[in-house]
């Protein structure tokens, strides 16, 4: 399962439903985009050091998904589909969706705009 940024925050904040889902997942993947969004999100937090430690531990036991040319092809296809449907979503989420489709892995997120992406399965808590 791919964790979107809000799912990663929920898991690291020990939201019971998120912890249950992530703990029960066979494999957990974190896109490099999510790691960047998370790092930005905690940069001004008074709990930054604790969050950074938690993020490092999570990255050590997860697969980190990098972007390559195949991902870029999925990104372009998804962006064209969404543009044609008049359903734009944030660019970073298109990259996450591209990784999801490329690797055929569902995304755990509360963002319903992922539902506009064909061939993507979303899990929420």
pLDDT tens digits for range 88-103? 999 999 999 999 999 9
pLDDT of residue 120: 96
Taking Cα atoms as reference points, which of 43, 36, 44, 47 lies closest to residue 12? Answer: 47
- For the chain, which residues score pLDDT lower than 70? none
HEC profile for 42-59? HCCCCCHHHHHHHHHHHH
CA angle 38, 99, 65 (to 5 degrees): 55
What is the C-alpha separation between 49 and 23, in angstroms, rounded?
23
Residue pair 75/94 in contact by the 8 Å Cβ criterion: yes
pLDDT of residue 75: 98
Assess if CATH 3.20.20.140 describes domain 2-123: no
Cα dihedral across residues 71, 77, 25, 110: positive or negative: positive
């Amino acid at each position: 399962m791919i964790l979107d940024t809000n799912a990663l925050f929920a898991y690291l904040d020990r939201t019971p439903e998120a912890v249950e889902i992530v703990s029960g997942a066979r494999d957990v993947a974190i896109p490099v985009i999510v790691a960047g969004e998370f790092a930005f999100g905690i940069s001004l937090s008074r709990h930054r050091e604790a969050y950074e430690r938690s993020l490092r531990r999570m990255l050590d036991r997860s697969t980190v998904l990098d972007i390559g040319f195949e991902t870029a092809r999925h990104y372009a296809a998804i962006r064209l589909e969404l543009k044609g449907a008049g359903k734009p979503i944030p660019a970073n989420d298109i990259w996450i969706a591209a990784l999801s489709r490329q690797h055929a892995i569902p995304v755990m997120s509360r963002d319903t705009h992922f539902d506009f992406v064909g061939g993507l399965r979303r899990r929420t808590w």
